[in-house]
Chains A and B, each alone.
Chain A
Amino acid sequence: MSHKILGVVTLMYLFIFFLHVLYFAVNKQKIISVIWIFLYVTLGLHTAGLTVRWIESYNLGIGHVPLSNFYESLIFYSWCISFLLVVMKKRLSFPSITALASLIALAFMGYASISPSVEKTIQPLIPALQSNWLHIHVFTCFIAYAAFVISFISSLLYFFKWKGVLPPRETLEDINYRSVVVGFPMLSAGILTGAVWAHYAWGSYWSWDPKETWSLITWIVYALFLHARIAKGLKGKKMAFFSILGFLCVIFTYFGVNFILSGLHSYTT
Chain B
Amino acid sequence: MGDNIYKLLASLKTAIFLLSFIAMTSISGTVIKQKAGIEEYLSAYSEGTYRVIHFFGLDDVYHSPWFLAAIVLFAINLTLCTFGRFKRFLKTRKGSLNLPDEHTLSAMPMHFFVETTSAGHVINLLKTGYKTVHEEESGVLLEKGAVARYGTYIIHVSILIILAGSLIGLVFGHKGFVVLNKGETKSAMTIRGRSNKEIPLGFALRCKDFKVSFYPGGQPKDYVSRIEVIEDNKVVKEKDIRVNDPLNHRGTYVYQASYGAAPSFIFNIDGDEVVLKERDTYEKDGLILMITRFENAIHDFGPGVQVAYLDREEPKTVWFLKNVERLKERNIRGINIRLEDIKEDLYTGLEVSRDPGVWIVWTGFASILFGLYINFFMYYRRIYIGKAPDGIIVAGHAFRNQDAFREEFEKMKGRVLSQ
Partners in one complex: yes
How far, in Å, is A134 (CB) from chain B's closest CB?
A: 9
Is A214's CB within 8 Å of the partner chain B?
A: yes
CB neighbours of B20 from chain A (8 A) = 220, 224
**A217: contacting residue among B26, B220, B352, CB under 8 A:** B26
Contact B244 A220 (CB under 8 A): no
User: A112-136: contact bitstring with B at CB < 8 Å (1 yes, 0 no)?
Assistant: 0000000000011011101100000
A110 within 8 A of B: no
Cβ < 8 Å to A, chain B residues 10-60: 12, 15-16, 19-20, 22-23, 26-27, 29-31, 34
> What is the chain A residue whose CB lies nearest that of B217?
A124
Nearest A residue (CB) for B364: A192
In contact, B217 and A203 (Cβ under 8 angstroms):
no
Cα distance, A220 to B25, chains bound together (Å): 12
Q: Whole-angstrom distance between the alpha carbons of A98 and B387 in the complex?
A: 49
Binary contact readout B293-319 vs A (1 if CB under 8 angstroms, 0 otherwise): 000000000000000000000000000
Chain B residues near A223 (CB-CB < 8 A): 19
Which of A185, A196, A214, A224 counts the most B-chain CB atoms under 10 A from its CB? A185
Residue A34 is within 8 A (CB to CB) of chain B in the complex:
no
* Nearest residue, chain A, Cβ from B33: A262
Complex-state Cα separation, A205 to B23, whole angstroms = 19
Bitwise, B139-170 to A at CB < 8 A (1) or not (0) is 00000000000000000000000000010000
Name the CB-closest residue of A to B221.
Answer: A124
Specify the chain A residue showing the minimal Cβ separation from B243: A127
B362 in contact (CB, < 8 A): yes
Q: Which residues of B contact A224 (CB under 8 A)?
A: 16, 19-20
From the candidates B12, B22, B253, B373, name the one contacting A227 in the complex (CB within 8 A). Answer: B12
The reply to whether B365 and A195 contact each other, CB–CB distance below 8 Å, is yes
Q: Would you call B222 and A208 a contact (CB within 8 A)?
A: no
B residues 81-112 in Cβ contact with A at 8 Å:
none
| Residues of chain B in range 337-358 having any CB-CB distance to chain A below 8 Å | 351-353, 355, 358
Report the Cα distance A21→B242, complex, angstroms: 54
Q: Known contacts A220-B19, A220-B22, A223-B19; decide if A204 and B372 are in contact (CB<8 Å).
A: no
Chain A residue at minimum C-beta to C-beta distance from B61: A208
Residues of A within 8 A of B221 (CB): 124, 127
Q: Interface 1/0s, chain A 202-217, versus B by CB < 8 A?
A: 1111101010011011
Instruction: Establish whether residues B215 and A124, one from each chain, have CB atoms under 8 Å apart when the complex forms.
Output: yes
In the complex, chain B residues whose CB is within 8 Å of the CB of A205:
358, 361
Q: How far is the CA of A221 from the CA of B24 in the complex (A)?
A: 10
State whether A192 touches B376 (Cβ < 8 A).
no
B219 CB contact (under 8 Å) in A123, A208, A228, A232: A123
Distance A64 CA – B362 CA, assembled complex (angstroms): 27
Q: Which one of B34, B243, B377 contacts A130 once the chains associate, using CB atoms below 8 Å?
A: B243
- Assess the B175–A184 pair: CB atoms within 8 A: no
- Cα A206 to Cα B170 in complex, Å, equals 11
Say yes or no: A213-B12 contact (C-beta < 8 A), given A126-B220, A188-B368, A203-B255: no
A210 to B351, CA, bound (A): 21
Residue of B26, B246, B257 ringed by the most chain A CB atoms within 10 A: B26
Q: Is A231 on the interface with B (CB-CB < 8 A)?
A: yes
Given contacts A127-B220, A188-B369, A192-B368, contact A203 B246 (CB under 8 A): yes
A 227-254 contacts with B by CB, 8 A? 227-228, 231-232
Contact in complex: A126, B26 (CB < 8 Å): no
> Which residues of chain A have C-beta atoms less than 8 A from B113's C-beta?
none
A62 pairs with B215, CB closer than 8 A: yes
Q: Does A213 contact B26, Cβ atoms closer than 8 Å?
A: yes
B51 to nearest A CB, angstroms? 23
A201 at the interface (CB under 8 A from B): yes
Query: Does B223 make an interface contact (CB < 8 A)?
Result: yes
- Complex interface residues of chain A between 171 and 209 (CB less than 8 A to chain B): 181, 184-185, 188-189, 192, 195-196, 199-206, 208
Which residue of B19, B27, B246, B369 is within 8 Å of A200 (Cβ)?
Answer: B246
Contact across chains for A202 and B376 when beta carbons are under 8 A apart = no
The reply on A257 being an interface residue by CB < 8 A is yes
Chain A residues within an 8 Å CB radius of B31: 261
CA distance A201 to B253 in the complex (A): 11
Whether B280 is near chain A, meaning CB under 8 Å from some CB there, is no
Contacts of B166 in A (CB 8 A): 206
Task: Give chain A residues whose Cβ lies under 8 Å from the Cβ of B368.
Answer: 188, 192
Provide the bound-state CA to CA distance between A200 and B365, in Å: 15
Q: How far is the CB of B28 from chain A (nearest CB, A)?
A: 10
Known contacts A214-B30, A224-B16; is A131 also within 8 Å of B255 by CB? no
Is B245 part of the binding interface, using a Cβ–Cβ cutoff of 8 Å? yes
Residues of B within 8 A of A204 (CB): 175, 353, 355
Contact with A along B208-234 (1 / 0, CB 8 A): 000000010101111100000000000
Q: Does B62 contact A (CB under 8 A)?
A: yes
Instruction: Judge whether A257 and B12 touch: CB under 8 Å.
Output: no
- Distance from A128 Cβ to chain B, minimum over Cβ atoms (Å): 6
Residues of B contacting A216 with CB < 8 Å?
23, 26
CA distance in complex: A192, B159 (Å): 12
The answer to whether residues A203 and B257 also contact, given A126-B220, A213-B26, A214-B30 and a CB cut-off of 8 A, is yes
Residues of chain A lying within 8 A (CB to CB) of residue B219? 123-124, 126
> A185 CA to B351 CA in the complex, in Å?
32
A210 to B27, CA, bound (A): 9
Q: Give the residues in chain B near A199, CB-CB below 8 Å.
A: 358
A-B pairs with beta carbons under 8 Å apart, 21 shown: A126-B219, A126-B220, A127-B223, A130-B244, A181-B376, A184-B372, A188-B369, A188-B372, A192-B365, A196-B362, A199-B358, A200-B244, A202-B255, A203-B246, A203-B351, A205-B358, A208-B34, A213-B30, A217-B23, A227-B12, A261-B30
Please give me the 5 A-B residue pairs with the lowest Cβ-Cβ distance, nearest first: A127-B243, A210-B30, A185-B372, A203-B351, A220-B23
- Give me the interface of B with A, judged by CB distance under 8 Å: 12, 15-16, 19-20, 22-23, 26-27, 29-31, 34, 62, 166, 175, 215, 217, 219-223, 242-246, 253, 255-257, 351-353, 355, 358, 361-362, 365, 368-369, 372-373, 376-377
Known: A189-B372, A196-B365. 12 other contacts (CB 8 A): A124-B219, A131-B244, A188-B372, A203-B351, A206-B166, A210-B30, A217-B23, A220-B19, A220-B22, A221-B23, A224-B16, A232-B12
